[in-house]
Amino acid sequence: MLNEYQNDSFAQSSCTNVNKKVRILFFRSHFISRKILTFTALKLAILFMPKKIQFIFNPSEIGAGTRGSSLGPAAILAAAREVNSPFFDKYPPVILSDWNQLLDTASPYRKAKRIDGMQKVFNCIEQELARQKNAAQFPFIVSGDHASAGGTISGIKKVNPGKKLGVLWIDAHADIHTPYTTPSGNLHGMPLATALGIDNLECQKNEIDSDTADYWNQLKSSAILPEDLVYISVRDTESEEDFLIDQLGIKNYSVAELRSIGMEKLLTELKHRFSNCDMVYISFDVDAMDPNETSLGTGTPVPNGLSVLEARLLLTEMIQLPNIAAFELVEVNPCLDDKKNKMAEVAFDLIKSMVEVLEKEN
């Protein structure tokens, strides 16, 4: 089934026999030939609506191992103001509640630090996505650390039950650890395990208490299938994650492979793969990019990532997917930036480029 975030331009190219005003004519369908107004066209008429963008700032950083990613959304706002951009006047963000005060005390959950708060973060995101769904708005999320993306995925799925969700995860890290395998206990390394609903007990090296297990089971949504998850730029993993990636057959387009096959072929393959999904969520961690070209303004920078140009080309193309459901950018950390606010400036430039594309579609 196609989803409500799909747009008119795709409908026109995908169903050339349908009049450009098919959504209006739908309500007068008894005047239109059955040969023209097919069942497929009816679905396109109802579901391919313009994307009304709503920014959501989620400043949670309780899943990270370093401090400062909660300031990422504000740093991006500062980058816009530095160049006197009215961008966020045009697109004022909704700002979510956070539970960052939990960072002021030690967490009793050593292998899933502050997992009690993460459950609240997930619930908050899910509730906001339900509101955006009811308002027929496109969620453009800017978050602190990547842990809360598990809540974004579960939230999308909850407001679209029965629909097949694809995930494009652009990141230096696989983020598929569990409390049973994590070397750090930081939840920003586990969001995809919650989305897949897995424990990876085959690689278990940690014993966890019953409270941690209960919280973990509540976070697991099983919202996606492994074949509907695609990595890009993942290049810093642990053996437990490598085991899962291999066992589950998760595709990872390395930076080297991207450059070998070329951006055009990559985009063609991605669009073909996600055409089998009703919805697609794109999650972009700024550490997917090469820190030599951006900065160290992110929690866990890794060399040899995407260039800024590659990231822009990839994002501005994929944001145009007809079945795009939500986009999220994470892990800008101005406290770690060695070039003043460079990472936030790059992030703002990418955001502007994607929104310009969406505006043209509308």
- How does pLDDT run across 159-208, given as a tens digit for each residue? 999 999 999 999 999 999 999 999 999 999 999 999 999 999 999 999 99
For helices 342-361 and 308-318, the axis angle rounded to 10 degrees is 30
Instruction: Tell me which DSSP letter residue 5 carries.
Output: B
CB neighbourhood size of 315 (10 A): 22
Task: Say how many Å lie between the first and final Cα of the chain, rounded.
Answer: 22
Residues with Cβ within 8 Å of residue 74, at least 6 apart in sequence: 57, 59
| Residue 165: φ, ψ to 5° | -105, 125
Token digits for 280? 């697609």
Which CA distances in Å does 264 have to 171, 213, 282, 288, 310?
Answer: 20, 44, 18, 19, 11
Three-state DSSP at 311 gives helix
Instruction: Tell me which DSSP letter residue 323 carries.
Output: T
For position 361, what pLDDT does the model report? 78
Residues with Cβ within 8 Å of residue 210, at least 6 apart in sequence: none
Q: Are strands 279-285 and 94-95 parallel, antiparallel or unpaired?
A: unpaired
Which CA distances in Å does 140 have to 257, 283, 318?
Answer: 28, 10, 14
How much of the chain exceeds pLDDT 70, in percent?
86
Q: Which of 274, 185, 202 is nearest to 232 (CA)?
A: 274
Cα 120 from Cα 127, distance rounded (Å): 11
Cα 286 from Cα 346, distance rounded (Å): 9
Token digits for 167? 């995930």
Domain residue limits, the chain: 1-49, 51-361
Token digits for 45? 């008429």
Looking at 59-177, which runs of residues are DSSP E strands? Answer: 94-95, 137-143, 165-170
Residues with Cβ within 8 Å of residue 222, at least 6 apart in sequence: 195, 196, 197
CB 146 within 8 A of CB 283: yes
For position 91, what pLDDT does the model report? 98
In DSSP notation, 58-80 reads E---TT-SSS-GGGHHHHHHHHH
Under CATH, to which class is 51-361 assigned? alpha beta
Please list the ranges in the chain whose pLDDT falls under 50.
Answer: 1-48
Token digits for 136? 């027929």
CB neighbourhood size of 160 (10 A): 20
For helices 149-159 and 115-134, the axis angle rounded to 10 degrees is 40
